Structure 1
Amino acid sequence: MSRASLDKQPHEVAAMFDDVAAKYDLTNDVLTAGQARLWRRAVAAAVDARPGEKVLDLAAGTGTSSLPFVEAGAFTVPCDFSLGMLREGKQRHPWMPFLAGDGTRLPFADATFDAVTISFGLRNISEVDAALAEMRRVTKPGGRVVICEFSQPTWAPFRTVYMQYLMRALPSIARQVSSNPDAYVYLAESIREWPDQPALAARLQDAGWSRVAWRNLTGGIVALHRGFCPKD
């Protein structure tokens, strides 16, 4: 799997994340110059988890993204298809109910969760539209989805510089801090190939989500998309 434009085979993507699990959070902090922590806080605010709610955190990796929802008092299920990530997360947070799951075939009943969220994982799912529909299926009527994903910077000159960083500097930096730097070549290409903000919003609407909106973070490097499961 050398280019993001090729079909994403789930077992290959999972194996890639297995390889980088131990240093994944550290690598993200380095590659984003600490912005990843700010983005997690923005996700937590958008999800707005409350005591007694049920939250599904997809592509949760080691569970770092799940902690704010737990701290807010919500019953939180960190779910990922990388067993390596789940093992690393269980070692760090043995009390969390980590669960292996495929985003296109979630192992939950209809209308289970008050909120479903996924950060930096949607573009790694082989069938994105199926995953968006599955998220809606397991969300209660009136519940919400929050997607945090790399997107397209809105200012053209900055976008050019950013793309050069992705394809040149990012793999070089990853070689210094990651256990599998080749994985970050794929990740850079997957970011470059990912739909822009309006295109992802349209796919959410096609999957049945209502009141879809997005907010740019860090000049559009990242976008938060939110939608609601219709009550009717």
Structure 2
Amino acid sequence: MHELSITRRPVYGLAQKPDSIQQFTTRDELYAELESLGIPPKDWRVGEHQHAGDRYAWRAVEVRGVKKSDEDFRCNDCVDFCTWQRETHAGDVTQRCTYCKGPVYFTQSTETEVRAADAETYRAALAAARRDSERIADATSAPDEMPENGTYFLTDDLQSGFGISPDLELIGLFSLVKGRGECLITEALTAGAERLDCFDGFLPKLYERFGFRETERVANWTPGEPDVVFMALV
């Protein structure tokens, strides 16, 4: 079941607990309330809406993987950057990941709370995640490449986090915990992220769900590896 809600947060900090969460049973009820709040339809999107100092959030939280073939499904933590047929959907709920045997499609309604972190603590958490996960190591830059004057966020367990560069680029998003990716992107948008780059494959389609669109594409420096895709909010 999808969570449909409006979450109000205080203006003075991303890490603060929500002031209130208003739940809805249908999208029509949610849309009517958003309309009454004066939030234009063009801003109704999965993730977040920043308005008058409060965060109004609504989500239909679906954690998806991909189908590469009839015999090969991947969860969103085991997706590689090769070609695949389609994203998974509710009809694939009984399928299991070829690699980790975990679910390739599920829904969740919990929020991922993140807190501001200093650059040193973030770099240490990213370094630990890169040691534990080859996937994270391949998808993120080295910790010492993260700018000192960036803004960084981590979950309390230090298993997930991201940074925002001074020019509002989303950098170093990582998670060792399944299912946090979409919540982390939502929080990154709330923190001000406006652009990013990622490898071609699953990730561009994921970021498109949050309003990012491809602006440039550069061939990978390693022959045969996926292109680097640059994206920005539109």
Interval containing the TM-score (normalised by the shorter chain): 0.3 to 0.5
What TM-score does the superposition give when structure 2 sets the normalisation length? 0.32
Higher strand share: 2
- Higher relative contact order by CA 8 Å / sep ≥ 6: 1 or 2? 1
Higher helix share: 1
Q: Which has the larger radius of gyration?
A: 2
What TM-score does the superposition give when structure 1 sets the normalisation length? 0.33
